[in-house]
Amino acid sequence: MKSLIIILLAMLGLVSCQPASNEAAALRNQFTDLQTRQAALENKQYIPHLGWAMVQVQVYHAKLYFAGAAQNWKLADYYVHELEEALEDVEQLHPEHEGVKVAELVKAMALPEVENVAKAVEQQDAVAFSAAFEKLTHSCNQCHQAAGKAIIRIKIPQNAGLPNQDFIPPRQE
Ligand code: HEC
C-alpha cells in the first residue's frame, strides 16, 4: 500500500513538473512579447500635428466659455485646467513650427490670460470671467497673427453649448 502511494506521488511529481516548465516557457514568451510591444509603442509614439493640437485647444476654449457662461464654476474650473494642459501640450510637442517660436509665444501671450480666467472662475465672478475670456480670445488671435496664421480667427462662442453636453450646474449645488 505504502509503495503504491509513493509510486502515485512520484507520478504526480513527474506529471506536475512538466506543466510547470511549460508554464515558465509561456511566461517567458509573454514577457518577450510585452517587451517587443513596449519598444514598438515607444518608437511609434503618436504626436499630433500642431493644427490638431490646436483643435483640442479650441474645444476646451469653447467648453470653458459655456461652463463659465452658465456660471457652472466647478465645470469651468475643470476646463480652465484642461485648456492650460492643452496649451502646455502645444508648447512641449511643437516648441517651434515653421520658424515660429510657438512655446515662447504660448507662454508670453496665452498662458497669462488663462491665469486671469482661472482667477475669475475661482472668485466665481461672472463679470470678471467675461472680461478675462475676451482678453484670452484676443490673445489667441494675436498669436495667430504673429505666427502668420491671421486667417484663423477665434471668437467668443455664440451658440449655446455643444449639442451633446450639459453645461448647466446640477440642481443640488
Ligand atoms: C503660438 C501662438 C498660438 C497661440 C497662443 C494660439 N495659437 Fe492657435 N494656432 C497657432 C498656429 C501657428 C496655428 C497653425 C498651425 C498649423 O500651421 O497647422 C494655429 C492654429 C489654430 C487653429 C486651426 C486648427 C485647425 O486645423 O482647424 C485653431 C482652431 C486654433 N489655433 C485655436 C486657438 C485658440 C482657441 C487659441 C487660444 C486659446 C489659440 N489657438 C492660441 C498658434 C497659436
Q: What is the pLDDT of residues 93-116, one digit of tens each?
A: 999 999 999 999 999 999 999 999
CA of 153 to the centre of ligand 1 (A): 9
Rounded Cα distance between 144 and 58, Å, is 13
Predicted TM-score of the model (pTM) = 0.79
Which of 113 and 16 is assigned the larger pLDDT?
113
* CA angle (54 as vertex; 107, 153 as ends), nearest 5: 90
Q: Which residues line ligand 1 at a C-beta cut-off of 6 Å?
A: 50-51, 54-55, 57-58, 61, 97, 100, 102, 105-106, 109-110, 136, 140, 143-144, 147, 149, 152, 154
Average pLDDT over residues 126-146: 97
Work out the average pLDDT over 113-128. Answer: 98
pLDDT at 21: 79
The three grid cell numbers given for residue 125, joined into one nine-digit string: 465672478
Q: How far does the centroid of ligand 1 lie from the alpha carbon of residue 154, in Å?
A: 9
Lowest mean pLDDT among 4-18, 39-53, 76-90, 110-124: 4-18
Task: Please enumerate in sequence order all residues whose Cβ is within 8 A of that of 157, keeping only pairs 6 or more positions apart, or say none.
Answer: 61, 62, 65, 66
Looking at residue 19, what is its pLDDT?
58
Q: Options 1.20.120.290, 2.40.50.140, 3.40.50.1860, 1.10.10.60; which CATH number does 50-146 get?
A: 1.20.120.290
Specify the higher pLDDT residue, 96 or 6: 96
| For the chain, the helix, strand and coil percentages under 3-state DSSP, each to the nearest 5 | 70, 0, 25
Q: In this predicted structure, what is the pLDDT of residue 15?
A: 47
Find the 51 Cα to ligand 1 centroid distance in Å.
7
Match 475661482 to its residue by C-alpha cell.
Answer: 122
Of all protein residues, the one whose alpha carbon is nearest to atom 38 of ligand 1 is 140
Q: Which residues, including other chains, have CB under 8 Å from residue 143's CB and lie 6 or more apart?
A: 105, 106, 109, 110
| pLDDT over 70 at 1, yes or no | no
Ligand 1 atom closest to the CA of 114, numbered from 1 = 38
Confidence grade of residue 147 (pLDDT, cut at 50, 70, 90): very high
Atom of ligand 1 nearest to the CA of 98: 17
What does the pLDDT read at residue 121?
98
Distance 136 CA to ligand 1 centre (A): 13
Beta-carbon-side half-sphere exposure of residue 96 (alpha carbons within 13 Å)? 2
Domain boundaries, the chain: 1-45, 50-146
Check residue 2 and give its pLDDT. Answer: 58
Contact 121, 113 (CB under 8 A): no
Instruction: Say yes or no to pLDDT of 141 above 70.
Output: yes
Q: Over 80: is that where the pLDDT of 45 sits?
A: no
**Measuring from atom 37 of ligand 1, which residue has the nearest CA?**
140
Question: Beta-strand (E) ranges in the chain?
Answer: none
User: What own/partner pairs with CB < 8 Å and gap ≥ 24 does 94-98 have?
Assistant: 94/50, 94/53, 97/50, 97/147, 98/147, 98/148
Answer whether 64's CB lies under 8 Å from 80's CB. Answer: yes
For residue 86, report the distance from its CA to the centre of ligand 1, in Å: 11
